[in-house]
Chains A and B, each alone.
Chain A
């Protein structure tokens, strides 16, 4: 009897605590963690190891602008690790399309970091998953708080983005040659004008959904060698922007090929390795 009434009381207290907890927090309860099902859907439940010390991920704790959240994927393997990074996947768990981008890294391309800009719709975990040449998966994660106030993941200046659709620029960030550190890794920044519309919003007047239009494929070559290839979605910010390291292979031209979800192709070539 004693124990039964004790448990009855405990249960009652617990229920009360839950009610109070609910009342104290006027917000909606936290949604269930989507990561386990994302691992199923995107990675077919393959085993993942914690990637700390192997890969890195930088993102601001608080997103300043929901439409433009800078994130840097770092994957320079430690000295002595003979494996190569084959693929890097960026997942923004709570976004409408969590699979933000996957990057196939060209063999011997020297690509060890890619910085880009993402839309972040909500408070969310962001995961970077690396697939190495031995087939193993490694994951690191970071929590990002969505921007507050009137910031929105939608575009700011849609006419401008549409007017210049498909314009591509490549800029070398680091100097041509640095004798002391040959073969130096260089850094370049690739920019593509594109609204990267999500298509998720209903037009309030016509009640029709705005069609999605975004860069779904992007390939960067140094001469004939692949630097990286990206498959992307609507989580990539308007005017997709990628800053990446690469190892110069002597080619004088960097070639960019992109295709959007409307089937439109964009191509561009930029001289590299010249005096800056």
Chain B
């Protein structure tokens, strides 16, 4: 199936992507290689992942990924949830620009954002991540390769390689793609303990990674209090619009933070109440946060987990 989004009209690059898609439609094999892109601002492209759990069928393509084209080079922001998706993404980028990819930025440690890394592994490509990303990959990489076999199947997982960053960001770092500066910012523990955002100074487009969730229930794998605090801090980023880690691309900034802030606030309130009342962890997993259930997709898949992690964290307050 081929889609050409025409909700925003032409711009040369988008037209090329669409033309490319149409001209190749005859070849099913080639069509499979296409990955739908949207140019959310001049020179800023994103692909919207499905709001699903990783499966063999969706090939792990559940996270939003993107790239930014400067005068001299390209920066890729996250690479997808399988090497297969990474290859499709690389092919899609090649249809938009022939400028070299210089940076591959991983917004955090989760497999749906970096299992495609190896598709971009070539001399001259610099992998970039939060200063804590190498440690997180060391602690989790082997486990993810084993556990995602169940979800992706042997064929898709066999080819995945973990590629850690060679350039890490401790606090903030600016990279230049040629007349195009990107501000990379490393944050304290929130969604994970290695969250990194990418701001395109030229257009005010922000790639938040999983520090912003829309429609897809937020996931807490770092610190629920850190995540809640950061929702306020992030609002100060001078962005115009955001590509969230999961959910519709693109959204207004900073309004996009509101829904997750409401969810996290409620979750923390519920958990604190249960801890005070002497309830145990299993009860928290069942009950905390439930009043937000109707607002989010994949709620039953992740809310009990958030409640579990949040409970263990908040007990130390």
List the interface of chain A (C-beta within 8 A of B).
26-28, 58, 60, 64-68, 70, 72, 115, 117, 121-122, 146-160, 164, 169, 173-174, 191, 193, 200-205, 210, 237, 239, 241, 243
Contact = CB atoms under 8 A, between A and B. Distances in A.
Contacts of B192: 156
Interface string B274-293: 00001011100100000000
Given A157-B189, A159-B189, A203-B134, A121 B53 contact: no
A147 B278 contact: no
Contacts of A151: 221, 305
A64 B226 CA distance: 21
13 contacts: A64-B305, A117-B281, A148-B54, A148-B150, A149-B301, A150-B112, A151-B305, A157-B189, A158-B132, A158-B193, A159-B193, A202-B138, A241-B315
Nearest to B168: A205
A60 B280 CA distance: 13
Interface stretch (B4-12, B26-34, B151-159, B200-208): B151-159
B262 to A, nearest CB: 22
Contact of A204 (B162, B189, B313): B162
Nearest to A96: B143
Interface string B152-185: 0111000000101000000000000000000000
B305 A156 contact: no
B110 A150 contact: yes
B282 A152 contact: no
A204 B164 contact: yes
A251 B265 CA distance: 41
B219 interface: yes
Contact of B222 (A64, A156, A169, A191): A156
B53 A201 contact: no
B140 A148 contact: no
User: Which secondary structure characterizes the binding site on chain A?
Assistant: loop
Interface of B: 53-54, 56, 109-112, 132, 134-144, 146-147, 149-151, 153-155, 162, 164, 189, 192-193, 219, 221-223, 226, 278, 280-282, 285, 301-302, 304-305, 307-309, 312-313, 315-316
Q: Which of B226, B280, B308 has the most CB of A within 10 A?
A: B308
Given A26-B56, A68-B308, A70-B280, A160 B140 contact: no
Contact of A157 (B110, B142, B193, B308): B193
B223 A157 contact: yes
Contacts of A121: 143, 146-147
A61 to B, nearest CB: 12
Given A60-B285, A156-B222, A201 B138 contact: yes
A130 B217 CA distance: 41
A158 B219 CA distance: 18
A142 to B, nearest CB: 13
A201 B164 CA distance: 14
Contacts of B219: 149-150
A57 to B, nearest CB: 13
Contacts of A72: 282
User: Which secondary structure characterizes the binding site on chain B?
Assistant: helix
B193 A239 contact: no
Give 7 nearest A-B pairs by CB, closest first.
A154-B139, A150-B110, A64-B305, A203-B138, A204-B164, A64-B304, A152-B140
Contacts of B137: 204
B124 to A, nearest CB: 20
A200 B312 CA distance: 23
A120 B134 CA distance: 23
A128 B143 CA distance: 25
Nearest to A149: B53
B142 A160 contact: no
A147 B53 CA distance: 12
A158 B281 contact: no
Contacts of B223: 156-157, 160
Contacts of A154: 136, 139-140, 143
Nearest to B144: A152
B154 A26 contact: yes
Given A156-B193, A159-B189, A65 B315 contact: no
Contacts of B134: 203-205
A26 B155 contact: yes
Contact of B111 (A65, A68, A150): A150
B281 A193 contact: no
Contacts of A155: 139
Contacts of A60: 282, 285
A201 B150 contact: no
Q: Which of B150, B281, B302 has the most CB of A within 10 A?
A: B281
